[in-house]
Structure 1
């Protein structure tokens, strides 16, 4: 036996393979099968490189080659026209356009300034259209929706004038644009749409969509012709919402976003945007001097094709008297047939957690920056409604001849109304909407998203809806 063992220790390598070939065959077949399966499986990116569930992560990886979709939204406001171009990946996350997360270009005046010349109104958008087309790849332009949303300024021109302007804009997009356009995509937004889109925009950028309604923020958007309030309410409050007369916007919109159903209270107050509210305040004093006009000004205010007397009293502007006039203009004492109202007899939505954090946009931010109590270079600022009253006290003591040196950032045409504007903004927040004067609110112009700043405006909400409705991504909103 010792001798036999000794001989096996000197077997050649080939002899050993031949002797154990059956064992090797049994082992090698499964190994080869596993190797083939692994070879055929698609590669997986590292978890940190993948855009996860939309409601949980928005991390963008430039290495992900996801299909892109673009949307072009024109905001035809009362004070000017703006174009926003957005690019989304298949998860509806924003993708950079160059160095920014959107293209944003604006021009003045707005469409409503061309009430008697519809073609000139449409042509005022041509340069914005050219800029939009320059950033969308040529092969994607026919698939890219272009929408035009006109807001309060155009609504106030009347049906005939606004219809002629809108038709001229439709023709411009049809014959001068390579984008996908439809006649119904060029329209005057009703207040409910505008407010809803603004709420979607801000909560999208904050990463709140998909969370409980109590974790979202409320929005007040002060435009030139109208002001909107929107915030999420409970299902119970939504069920108790008052009915409105036929033809008027409902108080509550149901929205299904990021897998979550929201009941959104939204109301638009036509005639109570900053520029339109001036006419309401001037109407209170009619042909008399107005206590909200800076001392030294004697003229008129033109808005919506009409002219109003705008003259200071001999003693100049007075904050207490101006506040009284502004509150009358708000019609806070109108009959309220509901349990709780804001002003003009309008239901306030019932309040609740969706209103505890308020983001306030547009002219609120602009006037605060011009009045000097926030930094105009910062995208957001924490303030209190009472800060507008403090700024108004200073403004109402100012004479027109001194106003330019005190308020260098205010346009000269707005200087006579700086007292009026600040008094109105304070009255709107505290008396109109019932906010506590010392409640902290957020003035917002832009919101940080993926290390970029995005304009906090309703067009992004409209773009999200447009992309979703066309099925250009994998997420429905």
Structure 2
């Protein structure tokens, strides 16, 4: 006789396998919850986070198939530097690849002087950006202008102004953008960049253009960016070295920024040296020499050098301009022999140097380094990059220091007249900064960079691209 078996109901089966169901479902529910509320990207104090997620396309392949018009996004970034104002406009596809604006991969326009030159007339400072704004708006499709962010990042020129002067200039710029711009502006998008932000943005810019983001830190390059008022060094270090980082002396903050880029976490050593940009260093070197004349000024010049609202008398010493004596003045200005850092390796002024390592082995040196090298004749100004050694600046300085102002006019035709008396000083300082300041071997190969090849195009190696990547990734 067959025994009848009881047919289990659906609820009985659920009860019977309740343990298995619980084990499987709880992690799934938690994962779904995290994915639902996890932000696409984040930004904190200028630290960039690019979500890897669906951005599978290579960041260095602008030749991928064109995106539909609606998937493009634009960003306009003003670089308000001490020597002038510049605007960069970039266009990104949905994978944060750069795509062309017309025939170029960016709009780049500049003008002089910088905002700090209008310190006593903030409204005039703001109005000086009008022509740059007009050109920026002209390349953004009209239907996208209202959601295209416009940022203004002021650098060392405004950082050096006294009192509330920089605040009044920035507020005038905010009001100007609110009244005159069709682009999307926010009050906190007009600011004086912290020097470490500037350095971090520059590091992101160059490594993005080289296609290094997403690779391990040892495959990235380090950056030295010499501006007018400050100089920044930035390079990726190991997590172990990051844990050893001291606190910054005489101030708050840290030497290490954490960045999450293309699915990879980086520990970025970055430091900004205010008063040690090329134009600011001239003032420091003039102050460093007591008595009559300065050995860094070309023979035949006698005038005033104005920086940061102060005028310094500038004329050559009785014995004329001289490489050796100028080196002594530059070392004194750098305070390279007065380090207060005794427990670890330092650069000048008692600043921790980050410990070195693989992230610093390939060094890209930008801005005034490239400009002076090309003007002095040992770098082709028509090339975007050049391999040089610090000693090349010393050799060029020797030639410049032995040249009178009158002869220099024909010997160095590409140097602007206002910079010519300081050519010996500038080249000596750049060599001293690299060797005595940053402790580079004089014969170490470094890369001078003005533009970086990206696909088949060239893009300016400047910090605004890093800022544009941040604002674009946080708004997509």
Match of 1:387 among 392, 407, 431: 392
Q: In the alignment, what sits opposite 2:35? A: none
Separation of aligned partners in 1, 2:344 and 2:436: 17
How big is the shift at 1:316?
A: 1.1
Q: Name the structure 1 match of 2:72.
A: 68
Deviations 1:300-328 (A, max 9, x none): 21001101111101221010000011001
Give the corresponding residue for 1:217: 221
Normalised by the size of structure 2, how large is the TM-score?
0.87
Distance 1:387 1:245, change over 3 A: closer
Q: Is the 8 A contact 2:74 2:89 kept in 1?
A: yes
- What pairs with 1:342-361 in structure 2 (closer than 5 Å)? 342-361=347-366
Shift of 1:420: 0.3
Post-superposition CA distance 1:363-408 (Å, at most 9, x none): 0000000000000000100100000000000000001111100100
Equivalent residue in structure 2 for 1:466, among 446, 468, 471: 471
Structure 2: how far apart are the matches of 1:242 and 1:348?
11
2:139: which partner in 1? 135
Quote how far apart the aligned CAs of 1:173 are: 0.6
- 422, 440, 444: which one pairs with 1:439? 444
- Partners of 1:57 and 1:103 lie apart in 2 by 18
Bigger-Rg structure (1/2): 1
RMSD between aligned alpha carbons? 1.4
Aligned-pair distance for 1:249?
3.7
| Contact preservation (8 Å) 1:112, 1:157 | yes
2:185 corresponds in structure 1 to 181
Kept after mapping to 2: 8 A contact 1:300/1:307: yes
Pairs aligned (count): 421
User: 1:171-210, aligned counterparts within 5 Å?
Assistant: 171-210=175-214
**8 Å contact from structure 2 (residues 55, 96) kept in 1:** no
Deviation at 1:355, TM superposition (A): 0.3
Question: C-alpha displacement at 1:441, in angstroms?
Answer: 0.5
Q: Distance in 2 between matches of 1:219 and 1:145?
A: 27
Q: Is the 8 A contact 2:59 2:96 kept in 1?
A: no
* 1:154 aligned counterpart, secondary structure: helix
Match for residue 406 of structure 2?
A: 401
Encode CA deviations 1:199-239: one digit per residue, 9 max, x unaligned: 00000000000000000000000000000000000000000
Work out whether residues 60 and 210 of structure 2, in 8 Å CA contact, stay in contact via their aligned partners in 1.
Answer: no
* Rounded Cα–Cα distance in structure 1 between residues aligned with 2:93 and 2:101: 12
Contact residue 330 and residue 343 of structure 1 kept, 8 A:
yes
CA contact (8 A) 1:54 1:258 kept: no
> Which stretch shifts more, 330-339 or 411-420?
330-339
Pairing 1:99-178 to 2, within 5 Å after superposition: 99-178=103-182
List structure 1 segments (4+ residues) > 6 angstroms apart after TM superposition.
Answer: none
In 1: Cα distance, 2:92 partner to 2:343 partner: 42
Residues 447, 456 of structure 1: 8 Å contact kept = yes
SS of the counterpart of 1:413? Answer: coil
Q: After superposition, where does 1:311-460 map in structure 2 within 5 Å?
A: 311-334=315-338, 335-460=340-465
Per the alignment, residue 23 of structure 1 pairs with none
Q: Tell whether the 8 Å contact from 1:220 to 1:227 is kept in structure 2 after alignment.
A: yes
Match of 1:240 among 237, 244, 248: 244
Larger mean Cα displacement after TM superposition, 130-139 or 53-62: 53-62
User: What does residue range 18-57 of structure 1 map to in structure 2 within 5 Å?
Assistant: 53-55=56-58
Give the Cα–Cα distance (whole angstroms) in 1 for the partners of residues 221 and 60 of structure 2.
19
User: Measured at CA, do residues 312 and 119 of structure 1 come closer, stay the same or move farther in structure 2, by a change above 3 Å?
Assistant: same
Match of residue 84, structure 2, among 77, 80, 96? 80
Give the 3 Å change call, closer, same or farther, for CA 159–465 of structure 1 in structure 2. Answer: farther
Contact 1:296 1:400 in 2 (8 A): yes
User: CA–CA distance in 2 between the matches of 1:422 and 1:365?
Assistant: 11
More RCO (CA 8 Å, sep 6+)? 2
Question: What SS does the corresponding residue of 1:344 show, helix, strand or coil?
Answer: helix
Cα deviation, 1:97-131, whole Å, max 9, x if unaligned, reads 00000000001000011010101100110000000
Contact 1:384 1:440 in 2 (8 A): yes
What's the secondary structure of 1:242's corresponding residue? coil
Residue pair 2:62, 2:99 contacting (<8 A) in 1 also: no
Say whether the 8 Å CA contact 1:84–1:103 is kept in structure 2: yes
List alignment gaps of at least 5 residues for structure 2: 1-53
